[in-house]
């Protein structure tokens, strides 16, 4: 049978674009459908604009710290519209770059939503399009819990980049990494921040030392974190939004200009895809795939957050490139999910690769040895600040292999990225010990822990 395209991609986020371009490089006839902006969540509503806001939030502390080095700096006023205009201008620039990349790769773009009619046919705008192979790369979307009365008064992480004014007071519901990042960003920019979490600690799923260190630092910096607390109701009143919460000491009301649901979770964006017209299976709300990103329909694939494996932009990109290499490049590549590093851009920053301490002990028991170091970096000595950096290595003493590396502190993501290469290649503690450190640096602590 003759098809309109060798590959049709639904969704022009990081994974979809990476797959489309790589497949086109191998000579495939490729098209991609996207009803929104090119680049997906990461470029438009996630990693990129968020990281720019992280940078902005650090300046007040840096102004203060500079005095310890002899500078006389008087911070000026901060202008929210200027920042957001610059951030969204950069997003616009990146959208143009993605457009150019797809054009150069000769990938045809349909600025419409795509929906399955059958396993090889899609409705794209007012057209019917057939493809030999189809990739679903539609990403995820934030979830608002419907059980909280007044939930309509809240915003998600998508809307926070388009607030016309900086909130003087903001309540963030949930303790996931997105909520924690925005709590630190807005606090750094001068907002009064209250974070409400149901558990004792933020960042469920991360190493316990990371969770404790970041939470303690956030509180020390002035963020109010209400633990073992749940929102009961949200009302609009004369004093702004009133968030009624229930915690260990009973009920109380927190007032805010904005209530953000930045941390209550995300889910695969599968609505109105027409998956029921195919043999694609959905399990636990996500598209089920095998190790080749292949669905139950052998010619339909899925990558990225819609599969709910490891929901990180570089993972989606790598999944897509492995798929294109395998299907169109004849290389039979598999995505490896071992030692995928990740970071949390809170203040302080955290980064991690490999097993947590709890995971290591659960699998290897008494063979596990943990090396841990906590210290004040040199940078904070002259400003007289008590900021601490935490580093830890988790080692299997039977093989000497390093199972995990974790860090909280300045430039944690930059440092752990290099450490991740070592773990990926099977580095042992002896390899770390034999590596000469760069002095003076925080990173050298990873090769001097005994």
Does 127 score more than 80 pLDDT?
A: yes
Find the distance separating the first CA and the last CA of the chain, reported in whole Å: 65
pLDDT at 87 exceeding the cut of 80: yes
Residue 222 pLDDT exceeds 60 = yes
Mean pLDDT of 279-300: 98
Which helix (DSSP H) or strand (DSSP E) does residue 261 occupy? strand 258-261
pLDDT the model gives residue 116: 98
The size of the chain, in residues, is: 450
Give the pLDDT mean for 261-275. 85
Q: What Rg, from alpha-carbon coordinates, does the chain have? A: 24
Please compute the mean of the pLDDT values over residues 72-81 and round it to a whole number. Answer: 89
- Which H/E stretch holds residue 116? strand 114-118
Residue whose structure tokens are 């002259």: 382
Looking at residue 24, its pLDDT comes to 98
- Residue 191: phi and psi, rounded to 5, are -80, 155
Nearest-10 Cα torsion for 59, 64, 69, 71: 90
User: Is 90 exceeded by the pLDDT of residue 204?
Assistant: yes
> Which of 58, 112, 120, 439 is labelled catalytic?
439
Q: Return the ∠ at Cα 237 (arms to 263 and 79), rounded to 5°.
A: 60
* Alpha helices for 293-385 (secondary structure H): 313-328, 357-364
d(CA 120, CA 270): 18
Q: Answer yes or no: 439 catalytic.
A: yes
Percent of the chain with pLDDT over 90: 95
Q: What is the dihedral of CA 201, 206, 210, 214, to 10 degrees?
A: -50
Cβ pair 142, 247 in contact under 8 A: no
Beta bridge partners of 252: 245
Q: What does the pLDDT read at residue 185?
A: 98
User: How far apart are the C-alpha atoms of 337 and 352, rounded to whole Å?
Assistant: 14
3-state secondary structure of 374: strand
Q: How confident is the model at residue 261 (pLDDT cuts 50, 70, 90)?
A: confident
User: Model's pTM, two decimal places?
Assistant: 0.96
* pLDDT of amino acid 313: 97
* pLDDT tens column, 163-176: 999 999 999 999 99
Determine the Cα–Cα distance for residues 351 and 361; give it in Å rounded to an integer.
20
Report the pLDDT averaged over residues 272-295: 98
Domains defined for the chain, CATH in brackets:
5-142+267-328 (3.50.50.60), 151-264 (3.50.50.60), 342-447 (3.30.390.30)
- With tokens 């904070």, the residue in question is 380
State the Cα–Cα distance between residues 136 and 114, nearest whole angstrom: 10
Evaluate if residue 263 carries a pLDDT over 60: no
> How confident is the model over 6-55, as pLDDT tens digits?
999 999 999 999 999 999 999 999 999 999 999 999 999 999 999 999 99
pLDDT at 75: 73
pLDDT above 80 for 262: no
pLDDT digits (tens, 9 = 90+) for 327-380: 999 999 999 999 999 999 999 999 999 999 999 999 999 999 999 999 999 999
What is the band of 264 on the pLDDT scale with cuts at 50, 70, 90? low
Across residues 62-76, what is the average pLDDT?
92
Predicted pLDDT of residue 380: 98
pLDDT at 28: 98
Tell me the CA distances in angstroms from 309 to 102, 281, 331, one per residue in order.
26, 15, 23
b/e per residue 272-303 (b: at least 16 CB within 10 A):
ebbbeebebebeeebbebeebbbbebebbbbb
Average pLDDT over residues 117-140: 98
């Amino acid at each position: 049978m003759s098809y309109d395209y060798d590959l049709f991609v639904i969704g022009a986020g990081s994974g979809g674009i990476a797959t489309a371009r790589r497949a086109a490089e191998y000579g495939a006839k490729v098209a991609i459908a996207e009803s929104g902006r090119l680049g997906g969540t990461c470029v438009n509503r996630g990693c990129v604009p968020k990281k720019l806001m992280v940078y902005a939030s650090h300046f007040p502390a840096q102004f203060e710290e500079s005095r310890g080095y002899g500078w006389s700096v008087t911070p000026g006023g901060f202008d929210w519209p200027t920042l957001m205009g610059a951030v969204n201008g950069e997003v616009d620039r990146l959208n143009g770059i993605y457009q150019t990349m797809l054009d150069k790769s000769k990938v045809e773009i349909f600025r419409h939503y795509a929906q399955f009619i059958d396993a090889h046919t899609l409705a794209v705008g007012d057209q019917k399009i057939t493809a030999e192979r189809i990739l679903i790369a539609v990403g995820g979307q934030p979830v608002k819990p419907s059980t909280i009365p007044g939930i309509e008064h809240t915003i998600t992480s998508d809307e926070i980049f388009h607030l016309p004014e900086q909130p003087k007071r903001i309540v963030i519901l949930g303790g996931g990494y997105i909520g924690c990042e925005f709590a630190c960003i807005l606090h750094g920019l001068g907002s009064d921040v209250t974070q409400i979490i149901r558990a004792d600690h933020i960042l469920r799923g991360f190493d316990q030392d990371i969770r404790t260190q970041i939470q303690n630092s956030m509180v020390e910096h002035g963020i109010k974190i209400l633990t073992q607390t749940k929102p009961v109701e949200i009302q609009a009143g004369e004093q702004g939004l009133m968030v009624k919460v229930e915690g260990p000491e009973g009920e109380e009301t927190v007032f805010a200009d904005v209530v953000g649901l930045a941390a209550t979770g995300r889910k695969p964006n599968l609505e109105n895809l027409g998956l029921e017209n195919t043999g694609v299976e959905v399990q636990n709300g996500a598209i089920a795939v095998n190790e080749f990103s292949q669905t139950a329909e052998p010619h339909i694939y899925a990558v990225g957050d819609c599969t709910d494996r490891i929901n990180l932009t570089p993972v989606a990109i790598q999944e897509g490139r492995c798929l294109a290499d395998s299907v169109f490049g004849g290389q039979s590549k598999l995505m490896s999910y071992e030692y995928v590093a990740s970071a949390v851009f809170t203040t302080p920053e955290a980064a991690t690769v490999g097993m947590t301490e709890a995971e290591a002990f659960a699998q290897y028991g008494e063979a596990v040895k943990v090396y841990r170091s906590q210290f004040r970096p040199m940078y904070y000595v002259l400003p007289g600040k008590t900021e601490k950096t935490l580093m830890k290595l988790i080692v299997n003493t039977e093989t000497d292999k390093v199972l995990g590396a974790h860090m909280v502190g300045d430039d944690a993501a930059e440092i752990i990225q290099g450490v991740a290469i070592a773990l990926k290649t099977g580095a042992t503690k002896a390899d770390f010990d034999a590596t000469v450190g760069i002095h003076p640096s925080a990173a050298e602590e990873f090769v001097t822990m005994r």
